[in-house]
Chains A and B, each alone.
Chain A
Amino acid sequence: MAKWHDVWLVPLVLLLPVVAWWGIPRIPPQRQLPVEAVLGGTRYEPTRLPFERRSLSDPADARPFIAHVQVLDFDDDGRADVLVCDAKQNCIKLLSASTGGTWSERILAADLAAPAHATVLDVDGDGDRDLVVSLLGDILPNDGVIGRVVWLENTASGFETHTLLDDVRRVADCQAGDLDGDGDIDLAVAVFGYARGQVLWLENRGDGRYRDHELLNAPGTIHVPIADYDGDGDLDIAAIVSQEDEELWAFENLGGGEFRSRRLWFTINDDLGSAGLVADDLDQDGDIDLLLPAGDNLEVAHAHPQGYHGCLWFENRGNWQFDMRRISDLGTTYACAVADLDADGDRDVVLVSLVNNWTNPENASVVWLENDGQQNFTPWQIDKQPTHRVTVAVGDLDGDGRPDVVTGGLHLNGPFDRVGGVVAWFQKQGQVSP
């Protein structure tokens, strides 16, 4: 009589190859190949200024697309508010603090296609705050004629939308100032587009009518800050062009609605990724300098920090001469704001990053550059999360006299484990021990 193991022998011999055929590929390989997990991205020493992070916006939005934030007292209650352009919810929101320190959210205007920037001014001279909003039409790359500039008229029943400019490509920015010296407020407009774009100025013709004038035909204009760059008493326009070429332009006001175009700087590195332009007297020498955050490579599906990203400072040397100096190497720098963060009397810079290689959880998302008073800057890391920051503003959000930092996130791509919409860092008293 055959023993039990002999009975099973034949089926075992026949089955074993089948089991092996099925099972061996399922064995997880154990010889881990070396991956340079920290490929790219930047991180810095933690800041010694004490900050407390807090989310101000509705946590229900799992993938926020915040295009712009600014700090101002919009409702005249003596407390700072945050005005937000939400490019996914297609609306303008106002975040306000209550006396207890909690923040609430109110939609001021909806059905606005991907608002990129809101300018607060009294368009109709009726004594209240209106909004002029730059509409991209689509936050994603698009060369269609889908941009607009709209005036949100502040009325007793809410904000009423009027179109000031249409039949143009995606509009990224609109700034206000009396550009022709006739006493009313005109507008400078950055038509970003994608493959085609423009810089325009809109001449205020009264009664909410504006006449468009083209200053430059070039795609990718992001910001058009207005200031008296040459100190001659009238307002000039600066513009950063970023798409096909990377160029810094100025439009010198010659009076009477005439402008002279001046290309102040350019680089042949068309991948630099200029991401914005901020006018500020950084060295406090009485003239207006320009700061350029660089690191917008969204034309690439999955951008990665590059060695040339960071922040460029254009020091105004007078007579339309600007000296460029790189003051930060933060990967994929997307926005900057200027303020005296440490209350030592000089101008510091806050920067945020869009995709600073988030596979390394130590990489910085928000940093500040400490000015030693001689424009030598030391970078300090404020935080490494939330990730994907594209806009930043500084203001005293809690009324304690210290500047706080507020940012907005654009979560186009993963990782989605450190998501944040409008997030603030409240500066506390004292110093963090090293």
Chain B
Amino acid sequence: MNDRRGTWRRWIWRGVLLAELAVIGGLAWRRWNSPAVPLPDLRQYHDSQTADELQALLESPPSRDPAAWRTLADACLAYGHYAQADTCLEQAWRLDPSRDTAYQRGLCDSRLGRLDKARGWFEKVADDSGGLLSARAWYQLGRLALRREEAAAATEAFRKSGEFYWPAVYQRAKLLVRGGQAAEAGPLLEQLMGQHRDDLRVWQLRGRYFEALGERDQADRAFDRSLRGFVSLGLDDTELYLRPIRKKYGFVRDYGVAAETQRKSSDGAPARALVRRMLADPLWQNAYLTVNQDLAELALRADDVDAARQLIDRQFTQQLYPSSKAWELRGDLAARGNEWQGAREGYLHALEINPANGGLETLLVETAEKLRQPKVAAQGKQRSLLQAGMEMYRRNEIADAGGLFSQLLDDAPDWYQAWYYLGECHRLRGDQESAIESFEACLARNPDHGRARRSLTRVVGNRPKAAP
């Protein structure tokens, strides 16, 4: 009885085993036959971590999940492996011919220079729904038309992108200004000004608009204002789409995580681990140009002085990249060891390469104080004030910038650059007499300052004429 029960049990186990083998064999066969994306040699493009991560993703592609194929395509697109992205999107499209996939395929073909195909994809997405994806697709169709030099088609596509899709409004205005119909661009520019008041491109376009209308003074004012603007209007949809994707993979992601952790919680452990890993990576040169100095800065903040030193030495001796930042970090390393002369040399090299870095002036002041060089420290403070004022001026913080220039000139009236910028601050605040005085003071110290001469001419020309 027991024997029979034992025999049955054995047969059951054998049966289960056979069933398992059949299922596993089937799954293995399916896996063996599943689609594979042919790989470029990723180690010729990326650091080890990024290459291995992308390779693992591409070696184990999803077979039936369109969203996963699209994610994979995004990774390939973001890192410039367009042919692979195209293959992944083809799979995604077969599984799910959605508008999102069509839009992505348009982006990919657009990057590959297949303009006709890209147009076909965007046309599948662009409709009259007024939705964001549709607006973006019309915008892309407009950009494609520009690339084909078809102005009318571009104008029409940008128009269909909608009145509130600002990059398209900008492009329409620009086409009008460049196409000899500047007068019609006025309302569009007004709309843009309402939405992107500080955008430098909008101010530049406004300058071109007034130029085309023959209003030289207005044009000068607009160009002048563009020098104190910033970019708030993103015109390249594709880069805006791809940039965050790059931060999801490999070294760039880990660097972001380490820096953020350090910033938020002063926890340097992830930074130290990342730095050690990259120090040992034989493919570190494939990362990007500033990898060593970026990591050295991170290491210094995490108090890993040895690693920072190794990275900076590597940047000088192996990468052959003596950048201003690398010299500055050399200075920082010397300062950590209280080697003030070494610190000063590092900072001086850094400043020689990048004289516009006001932060370096501050560091030089500190080292001069440590080295008991009061004259050098005083001069450094003046240069530091000048740079700080210029940076404020460029950020359109005119009143504060003017205050700094006045403060500097009270102590040291020979800084002709400070006189010029102080004059500009006065001019922009409408104080023409003070502006003239400042420009003249600048030219008295440097008669060849062309911009001061031009500004002086402008202000004198705009001065209200005295009553007869």
Contact = CB atoms under 8 A, between A and B. Distances in A.
A148 interface: yes
A102 B201 CA distance: 51
Interface in B217-270: 223, 226-227, 231, 236, 238-239, 242-243, 246
A137 B354 contact: yes
A213 B227 contact: no
A205 B446 CA distance: 12
B82 A414 contact: no
Contacts of B322: 89-90, 110-111
Contact of B38 (A32, A195, A305): A32
Interface stretch (B28-36, B119-127, B304-312, B429-437): B28-36
B335 to A, nearest CB: 20
Interface stretch (B131-139, B143-151, B372-380, B395-403): B143-151
Given A35-B37, A417-B41, A205 B448 contact: yes
Given A144-B356, A196-B227, A268 B10 contact: no
A33 B32 contact: no
A119 B148 CA distance: 37
Contacts of A280: none
B383 interface: no
Interface in A299-314: 299-302, 304-308
A9 B149 contact: no
Interface residues of B, number: 91
A28 B322 CA distance: 44
A245 interface: yes
Interface string A368-411: 00000000000000000000000000000000000000000000
A31 B149 contact: no
B321 A89 contact: yes
Contacts of B17: 9, 12-13, 16
A20 B30 CA distance: 13
Interface stretch (A59-67, A75-83, A151-159, A172-180): A59-67
Interface string B350-361: 001111100000
A268 B38 contact: no
Interface string B333-367: 00000000000000001001111100000000000
B293 interface: no
A271 B236 CA distance: 11
B185 to A, nearest CB: 14
B216 interface: no
6 contacts: A13-B20, A33-B91, A113-B353, A137-B354, A212-B449, A301-B242
Interface of B: 6, 10, 13-14, 16-17, 20-21, 24, 27-28, 31-38, 40-41, 44-46, 59-61, 78-80, 82-84, 86-87, 90-91, 111-115, 143, 146-149, 151, 154, 175, 178, 200-201, 204, 207, 223, 226-227, 231, 236, 238-239, 242-243, 246, 285-286, 289, 318-324, 349, 352-356, 390, 394, 417, 447-451, 453-454
Interface of A: 2, 6, 9-10, 12-13, 16-17, 20, 23-25, 27-37, 39-40, 60-63, 65, 88-90, 110-113, 137, 139-140, 144-146, 148, 163, 166-167, 195-196, 200, 203, 205, 209-214, 217, 219, 244-245, 266-271, 299-302, 304-308, 359, 412-417
